[in-house]
Amino acid sequence: SLKNERYYFGSLSSDNSFYFSDLEMRYKAIPKKLTLHFLAANIWDTDTFRNYTINETGFASSNFRLLPRYFFLKVDYRF
């Protein structure tokens, strides 16, 4: 399965779109015995996320550092 999210801040002059995508696959090699899982997280390797809040009294911005892109392989085996 592929999961996508897009955050857009239209009032900003630059860096106003953030994309997040994860890919997860599962393959049953031997039914009820062996299952392989593959995960690719943060496919676009987005390194920061900025959140902006504007109200009648001011402007605030929060900057979050994100985990870099990574791949994960998992094997489930039942005896």
23 C-beta neighbours (distance < 10 Å), count: 14
What residues make up the domain containing 35? 2-77
pLDDT (tens place) for every residue of the chain, 79 residues total: 999 998 887 766 666 788 899 999 999 999 999 999 999 999 999 898 888 788 899 988 889 999 999 999 999 999 9
37 touches 76 (CB < 8 A): yes
Dihedral-angle region of residue 10 (phi above 0 means left; psi in -120 to 50 means alpha; beta otherwise): alpha
How many CA atoms, within 13 angstroms, populate the side-chain half-sphere of residue 10?
A: 0
| Number of domains observed in the structure of the chain | 1
How confident is the model at residue 13, as a pLDDT? 60
How confident is the model at residue 55, as a pLDDT? 87
